[in-house]
């Protein structure tokens, strides 16, 4: 039954990926790519939340979901905070209240959080899909 559950969860994932929808390929700027990452995280996190309510999903999958979500959530929230800082720095620059260096620092910080969060989000996505995750 556990093996079958895994197969069916993978089938659900295939239904998603079969649509060839790739938010990352659409995004152009770092801010847009960060939004694509957070948005993808939210979509799979919400699917995970629904799986927690289902008696049809094995507890072992639910425990793995909790772990993957615990690992990813602080990273994506830090990503959002970093994006907020970029927006604020750019606004201040436009108002003449700061210089380009502050914007560059904020963008570099956002880039760091993006690469920190990405594998954790991918781990959550793989877990929702019923695949293993080494993170």
Partner 1 sequence: MLELITTLLRALSSVAADPGLGARGAAIKAVLDLAAFAIERGTEGADQLKALVADLQAMVAEGRDPTPEEWSALKLRSDAAHAAIQNWRPE
| Residue 44 contacts partner 1 per CB under 8 A | yes
Q: CA–CA separation, 124 vs 64, rounded Å?
A: 9
Going by the DSSP 8-state scheme, the letter that residue 54 receives in this structure is -
Q: How far is the CB of 122 from partner 1 (least distance, A)?
A: 15
**For residues 44 and 13, is the Cβ–Cβ distance under 8 A?**
no
Q: Which residues contact 9 (CB under 8 A, 6 or more apart)?
A: 57, 61, 128, 129, 130
Does position 28 bind partner 1 by CB under 8 A? yes
DSSP 91-128: HHHHTTSS-HHHHHHHHHHHHHHHHHHHHHHHHHHHHH
Which of 2, 3, 27, 109 is in the footprint of partner 1 by CB under 8 A? 27
Q: Which of 71, 75, 87, 115 touches partner 1 (CB under 8 A)? A: 87
Residue from the set 2, 3, 4, 95 that interacts with partner 1 by CB under 8 A: 4
102 binds partner 1 (CB under 8 A): no
The binding site for partner 1 (CB under 8 A) comprises 1, 4-5, 8-9, 11-16, 18-19, 21-23, 26-29, 31-32, 35-36, 38-54, 56-57, 59, 62, 65-66, 69-70, 73, 76-77, 80, 83-84, 87
């Amino acid at each position: 039954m556990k093996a079958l559950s895994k197969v069916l969860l993978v089938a659900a994932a295939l239904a998603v990926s079969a649509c060839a929808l790739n938010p990352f390929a659409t995004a152009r700027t770092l801010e847009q790519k960060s939004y694509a990452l957070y948005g993808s995280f939210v979509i799979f996190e919400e699917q995970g939340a629904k799986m927690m309510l289902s008696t049809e999903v094995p507890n072992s999958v639910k425990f793995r979901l909790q772990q993957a979500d615990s690992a990813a959530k602080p990273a994506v929230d830090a990503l959002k905070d970093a994006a907020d800082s970029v927006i604020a720095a750019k606004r201040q620059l436009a108002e003449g209240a700061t210089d380009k260096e502050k914007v560059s620092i904020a963008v570099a910080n956002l880039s760091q959080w993006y690469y920190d969060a990405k594998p954790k989000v991918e781990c959550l996505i793989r877990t929702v899909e019923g695949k293993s995750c080494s993170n």
